[in-house]
A and B are shown apart, each in its own frame.
Chain A
Amino acid sequence: MKLSKKEETQLMLDIFDIKEDILKMIYRSQSGHPGGSLSCANLIYILYKNVLKLKPEEPQWKERDYFILSKGHAAPALYAVLSKIGFIDKDKLMTLRAYNSELQGHPIKNEKLRIEIITGSLGMGLSIGVGCALSAKLDKKKDKYVYVLLGDGELNEGAIWEAAMSAAHYNLDNLIAIIDRNGFQIDGSTEEIMALEPLASKWKSFGWEVIELDGSNLSELIKGFNRAKKVIKKPILIISYLIKGADVSFMENTRLFHGRPPNKEEFVAAMGELEFLKDEIREGRL
């Protein structure tokens, strides 16, 4: 499927709305993770909008695809996407991380919202995905896919590589892992803290089909997911090159906004930048 210009413009505008919501939520709560939420917001939106098989009216539909946000600290991105597609009331978004809110700092299991499992302790999502994918095979659910979104820093965890080995061992072609390759973790860049490269060849040598793509390009993302679903007998890894803090100039490519909320001046500036970019998109300049 190729996106028409009009479709692409609409998706992009939606993504900017999502990014505004992310920043607003984190600003209101004065806690949370802007950098790694902004980086993957577009990816999560495309997943929900174009890829995941879900029944809006039946949250626990047995045939649904599973999505596991292994990098649970990107919860604001997930919640903002779920609000955009109508699963969460927009008003509720601003209760992020607050006392008594459904929107916990890191996602917890929620049947209505189709949050399959709690995440936030890094390195667990891929193993969970392996279990789901094996289970789908056992149940002969040929059309059920399991998607797991991983942080690149998260790949430091040994459990990821144990999962990688087992997914290939069991030929899990219904397991699609995606890496938010934004190049940063908390203490610095990924290559400075615990070098990952050559990343693609590591996963290939583990027996995975590896697709590398520019995650900021929506058509490429959609194409990548389509390609992933055609692979047989192997688990699939999409290395999605993204930008930490994407679209807010002073949050981009820095570790500083990993887990720090913007202050008032920063928030106002960030919202201004997003508004400006939205105008550019509307007027066809971007």
Chain B
Amino acid sequence: MVELSLRDVFGNLLVEFGKKYEDIIVLDADLSSSTRTSKFAKEYPNRFFNMGIAEQNMMGSALGFAISGKIPIVSGFTIFTTGRAWDFIRLACHDNLNIKIITTHSGIVGEDGSTHHALEDLSLMASLPNLTILSPADDVELRKMFEHVIEIKGPIYMRLPRGGFSRVHDDDYQFSTDHIDVLKDGSDICLMGCGYGTELAYHSVQSIEQKLNVSLKVINLSTIKPINKVKLLKHVKDLKGVIIIEEHNIYCGIGSIIAKMIAETKPLPMRFIGINDVFVESGERSELLEKYGLNENVLMEKINKLMEFTKN
């Protein structure tokens, strides 16, 4: 069940952490009502800066805040914040600046259409050295992650959706960037995803296991960078294959990152579910997820075919 949209949880966390850490300042680009940074703005007006519709200047200012000893949290819609201001982010990463980019409306946003979906942000961000990239699977994980976001000294990018994901974690879940979050053990195929990918894998796994008579492992890849490679590979090395599910272009997202790791050690057959290198149009999010194959049927078919493939 989806408890709250992750942007609402984000807004509440900002208020909570803003109290604890006086160095936190928040920047937004005329989207504070959508990203929910408005909650922080209301509570701490002196530490909130609405930079207007100017993502580049917002990011540049964050760099300035960072070298002045503040902890800038930069928000906005994912695609405009990561895309328009990328070169600024790149330099922040070069100097390992303590900036926290936390954006909402990642993945398929719905009716706004192709200019607003964010399906390329991981490619842009994953190519930046020093950057920690996080993608929480539910509200529980987002809350636990937030401690780390502030504790880690260095640039962080966190990718949040517009809505929420149904829970995959219990309240006592502990997050660590070094930890591999195995949600369910299994011995045939590993399903690996982040955000919506995790939700889809976790909530379809039981019915698929029954229908196909397979044993599936589910890993929530909520730390996209840096990944503890040794630990991750240990979890998949004895399996027959891996399927990556991501609400992102299949090129240069988590599929590409994991495929490289696996190819360099003990190659395993892999399959990929994601946006197949196209731009996505307007429509209801659910319709679009269906059209672009981010659904249970496609997942089941991929698992089935991969099982057959491994028999030959």
Q: Which residues of A contact B (CB under 8 A)?
A: 29, 31-32, 72, 97-101, 104-106, 108, 118-123, 153-154, 156-158, 185-188, 193-194
How many residue pairs, one in A and one in B, have C-beta atoms under 8 Å apart?
Answer: 93
B182 contacts the other chain (CB 8 A): no
Known contacts A99-B288, A100-B283, A120-B116: A156-B53 contact under CB 8 Å: yes
**Contact assessment for A156 and B115 in the assembled complex, using a CB-CB cutoff below 8 Å:** no
Instruction: Give chain B interface residues in 189-240, CB to chain A under 8 Å.
Output: none
Contact of B52 among A31, A104, A105, A156 (CB under 8 A): A156
**Contact assessment for A187 and B50 in the assembled complex, using a CB-CB cutoff below 8 Å:** yes
Q: Which 6 A-B pairs have the closest CB atoms?
A: A194-B52, A120-B115, A156-B52, A99-B283, A105-B113, A97-B111
Known contacts A104-B113, A153-B30: A121-B282 contact under CB 8 Å: no
**Contact assessment for B53 and A154 in the assembled complex, using a CB-CB cutoff below 8 Å:** yes
Known contacts A120-B112, A120-B116: A158-B54 contact under CB 8 Å: yes
Q: Classify the secondary structure of B's interface with A.
A: loop
**Contact assessment for A157 and B111 in the assembled complex, using a CB-CB cutoff below 8 Å:** no
B110 contacts the other chain (CB 8 A): yes
Instruction: Give chain B interface residues in 253-285, CB to chain A under 8 Å.
Output: 281-284
**Contact assessment for A187 and B54 in the assembled complex, using a CB-CB cutoff below 8 Å:** no
**Contact assessment for A194 and B50 in the assembled complex, using a CB-CB cutoff below 8 Å:** yes
A193–chain B nearest beta-carbon distance, Å: 5
B80 contacts the other chain (CB 8 A): yes
Instruction: Give chain B interface residues in 34-56, CB to chain A under 8 Å.
Output: 34, 38, 50-54, 56
| Residues of chain A contacted by B56 (CB below 8 angstroms) | 158
Nearest CB to that of B283 among chain A residues?
A99
Known contacts A98-B282, A194-B51: A118-B30 contact under CB 8 Å: no
**Contact assessment for A157 and B54 in the assembled complex, using a CB-CB cutoff below 8 Å:** yes
Given contacts A105-B113, A118-B114, A156-B29, 4 further A-B contacts (CB under 8 A): A99-B288, A106-B113, A122-B53, A186-B30
Cα–Cα distance between A119 and B111 once the two chains are bound (Å): 15
| Residues of chain A contacted by B29 (CB below 8 angstroms) | 156
Cα–Cα distance between A101 and B34 once the two chains are bound (Å): 26
| Residues of chain A contacted by B172 (CB below 8 angstroms) | none
A282–chain B nearest beta-carbon distance, Å: 35
**Contact assessment for A29 and B111 in the assembled complex, using a CB-CB cutoff below 8 Å:** yes
Contact of B111 among A31, A121, A156 (CB under 8 A): A31
**Contact assessment for B111 and A32 in the assembled complex, using a CB-CB cutoff below 8 Å:** yes
B62–chain A nearest beta-carbon distance, Å: 15
B9 contacts the other chain (CB 8 A): no
**Contact assessment for A186 and B33 in the assembled complex, using a CB-CB cutoff below 8 Å:** yes
| Residues of chain B contacted by A123 (CB below 8 angstroms) | 53, 84
Cα–Cα distance between A188 and B116 once the two chains are bound (Å): 21
Cα–Cα distance between A104 and B115 once the two chains are bound (Å): 10
| Residues of chain A contacted by B114 (CB below 8 angstroms) | 104, 106, 108, 118, 120
CB pairs A–B below 8 angstroms (14 shown) = A29-B111, A31-B110, A31-B111, A98-B282, A99-B282, A104-B114, A105-B111, A106-B114, A120-B112, A120-B113, A120-B115, A123-B53, A157-B54, A186-B34
Instruction: Give chain B interface residues in 106-145, CB to chain A under 8 Å.
Output: 110-116
| Residues of chain A contacted by B252 (CB below 8 angstroms) | none
Cα–Cα distance between A174 and B193 once the two chains are bound (Å): 51
**Contact assessment for A106 and B112 in the assembled complex, using a CB-CB cutoff below 8 Å:** yes
Cα–Cα distance between A9 and B284 once the two chains are bound (Å): 39
B308 contacts the other chain (CB 8 A): no
B97–chain A nearest beta-carbon distance, Å: 21
